[in-house]
């Protein structure tokens, strides 16, 4: 059985978890340090008003157990480069959907550092746009596309710039599906490619392995 870590149990993590559960995924580790806020409810649609103030990871774990009889572990923390190995120990795959740009690179590096074993899907959404990328043991990686994280002052977050609720539902769902496909060894548009979602539709950009990227050492 494959244990999937979900990094972020918010706008992207909730639809991703829902998609994974519907696709038959049974073992999860939910990693999130936030609590449910009223402004979350329009896009984090498994949470309801009585959940306000509750930790997201613990509440989502209850829902996954109740509705899908899932085996769920809860980690009330934020993923960092320093704690990644400990927080993800025992997981074979992960999906990053938090609002932390650094965590996306951390998750990529975790997947790449352990050859031929790990799969990671990295997703993001803001405003009316979103994107996702799947890293498999044989694909290019997120750093083949973005060598370094952007400087913090250049980053807009959903709490500042806002995000349209249905966009996170779409992107999180697609990201969850990409992980299901990758784990099943099936083709998916996002494996080794950046797929962008915008009001104009979907756009796929294949990413070649960069010769000087750390993933070439796999």
CB of 135 to Zn ion, least distance (A): 8
Strand order in the sheet with 71-75: 71-75, 27-31, 3-7, 93-96, 119-126, 129-135, 193-198, 201-206
CB of 41 to Zn ion, least distance (A): 37
Total of chain residues touching Zn ion, rule CB under 5 A: 5
- The Cα-based distances of 47 to 57, 63, 109, 133, 182 in angstroms read 11, 9, 31, 26, 28
CB of 169 to Zn ion, least distance (A): 29
Q: Which of 203, 29, 74 is nearest to 132 (CA)?
A: 203
Catalytic annotation on 158?
Answer: yes
Nearer to Zn ion, 40 or 139 (CB): 139
- Could you say which of 31, 179, 190, 215 contacts Zn ion (CB under 5 A)? 215
Does residue 113 belong to the site contacting Zn ion (CB under 5 A)? no
Per annotation, catalytic residue among 91, 141, 144, 158: 158
Nearer to Zn ion, 171 or 215 (CB): 215
CB of 52 to Zn ion, least distance (A): 41
Nearer to Zn ion, 160 or 217 (CB): 217
What's the CA gap between 32 and 133, in Å, rounded? 21
Does residue 16 belong to the site contacting Zn ion (CB under 5 A)? no
The DSSP bridge partners found for residue 121 are 95, 134
What's the CA gap between 174 and 157, in Å, rounded? 21
Does residue 118 belong to the site contacting Zn ion (CB under 5 A)? no
CA 123, 33, 134: angle at the middle one, nearest 5?
A: 20
8 Å CB contact between 93 and 129: no
Window of 65-73, 80-88, 95-103, 139-147 that interacts with Zn ion by CB under 5 A = 139-147
Which residues within the stretch 53-112 sit at the binding site for Zn ion (CB under 5 A)? none
CB of 144 to Zn ion, least distance (A): 4
Which residues within the stretch 140-159 sit at the binding site for Zn ion (CB under 5 A)? 141, 143-144
Nearer to Zn ion, 156 or 208 (CB): 208
Nearer to Zn ion, 178 or 215 (CB): 215
- Could you say which of 41, 73, 213, 218 contacts Zn ion (CB under 5 A)? 213
Q: Which residues are catalytic?
A: 158
In the complex, the residues that contact Zn ion under the rule CB under 5 A are: 141, 143-144, 213, 215
């Amino acid at each position: 059985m494959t244990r999937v870590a979900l990094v972020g149990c918010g706008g992207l993590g909730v639809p991703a978890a829902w998609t994974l559960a519907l696709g038959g995924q049974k073992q999860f580790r939910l990693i999130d340090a936030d609590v449910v806020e009223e402004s979350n409810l329009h896009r984090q649609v498994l949470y309801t008003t009585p959940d306000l103030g509750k930790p997201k990871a613990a509440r989502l774990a209850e829902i996954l157990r109740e509705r899908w009889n899932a085996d769920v572990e809860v980690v009330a923390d934020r993923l960092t480069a320093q704690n990644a190995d400990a927080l993800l120990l025992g997981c074979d795959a992960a999906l990053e959907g938090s609002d932390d740009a650094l965590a996306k690179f951390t998750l990529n590096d975790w997947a790449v550092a352990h050859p031929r074993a790990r799969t990671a899907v990295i997703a993001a959404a803001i405003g009316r746009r979103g994107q996702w990328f799947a890293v498999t043991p044989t694909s290019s990686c997120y750093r083949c596309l973005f060598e370094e994280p952007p400087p913090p002052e250049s980053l807009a977050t959903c709490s500042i710039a806002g995000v349209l609720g249905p966009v996170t539902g779409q992107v999180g769902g697609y990201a969850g599906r990409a992980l299901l496909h990758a784990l099943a060894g099936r083709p998916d548009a996002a494996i080794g490619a950046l797929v962008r979602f915008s009001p104009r539709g979907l756009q796929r950009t294949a990413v070649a392995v960069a010769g000087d990227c750390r993933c070439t050492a796999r």
